[in-house]
Chain A
């Protein structure tokens, strides 16, 4: 798919999401379980992507203290929990990855 098409559709999806309740408030009633379920969608989807990226960086399970992605991911989780800051989390995670890769001689 062309990058411009991805952007156009991605932009419309994002704009539609932001407009959703502002536009619909007086028009339809959304079931309660649907609104409650919304909260879990990003958490569930993103976790399902994160965990394999950390535990299986090369496609096969690698649960070991010699796995730098796993260690750096744990550092990032800690920083995200303490600071709630996206940029600091990325910075700390990248720094940790580089340090662990050097320390493990990779």
Chain B
């Protein structure tokens, strides 16, 4: 009975995740191809998809490695781009609090945008149950497999891309794709605009500190405006 319930949850997760793969596979192909054009070796590019396992940040890391950016700056950008996962973590935490450490580690590793999206919808619709996390596992593993496979194919394709394509522009485009849908209210828009303008004025600050100053002023602006709206 229990085994049947688990199997049912697991395969429901696999099934609900499947349509999302249509959007994920081209992205994996793009990452594999970009990593190769940034002169990252095939084993390293493939390993990045399982070690970091976060699409947008991998794309950005590959671009920055190709541009010869310093390791510390790359790590800071990867960390910041993936900071939204802390919000997902906070959101699923009450649903998995009854699980042991091994499960928590495994599900945290699988907590991507796409796995989170279907899993939290399932929790909200069906409510909590002792075996509900098998759904999370099914969705997460489905996405993981598709990501590894599409990276591999992308690496293979990447070797065929001409060197003079303006691939560097993928970087600001990826950022735009992440920022614009996150601008849901005045506070968010204000944080983005202020940070952008200060960033523009502070481009000549040493050691990329202009970026930090701009981000801090933007964050404080967002918090202040949100506070005033309440």
Known: A7-B47, A21-B89, A48-B198. A14 touches B218 (CB 8 A): no
Residues 26-67 of B, flagged 1 when their CB comes within 8 A of A and 0 if not, give 110010000000001100100110011111110001000100
Other A-B pairs, 8, CB within 8 Å; known A41-B83, A89-B173: A5-B71, A15-B109, A17-B82, A18-B86, A19-B89, A40-B219, A45-B211, A47-B195
Q: How many residues of A contact B (CB 8 A)?
A: 64
The residues in A between 31 and 68 inclusive whose CB is less than 8 angstroms from any CB of B are 33, 35-56, 61
Known A-B contacts A11-B52, A45-B195; the reply to A1 vs B70 at CB < 8 A is: yes
Question: Given known contacts A25-B94, A50-B196, is B40 in contact with A3 (CB within 8 Å)?
Answer: yes
A68 to chain B, nearest CB (A): 9
- Give complex CA distance A13, B47 in Å: 16
**Is chain B's binding surface mostly helix, strand, loop or mixed?**
helix
Question: Can you name the residue of chain B whose Cβ is closest to the Cβ of A40?
Answer: B222
What is the CB-to-nearest-CB distance from B80 to chain A, in angstroms, rounded to a whole number? 5
Contact with A along B93-114 (1 / 0, CB 8 A): 1101100000011011101000
Q: What bracket does the count of chain B residues touching chain A fall in?
A: 35 or more
Which of B3-11, B118-126, B153-161, B182-190 lies at the interface with chain A?
Answer: B182-190
Q: Can you list 23 contacts pairing A with B, beta carbon distance less than 8 Å?
A: A3-B41, A6-B71, A7-B52, A9-B75, A17-B79, A17-B85, A20-B89, A21-B89, A43-B192, A46-B80, A47-B192, A48-B218, A49-B175, A56-B203, A76-B176, A80-B176, A80-B179, A81-B181, A84-B180, A84-B181, A86-B27, A90-B170, A94-B169
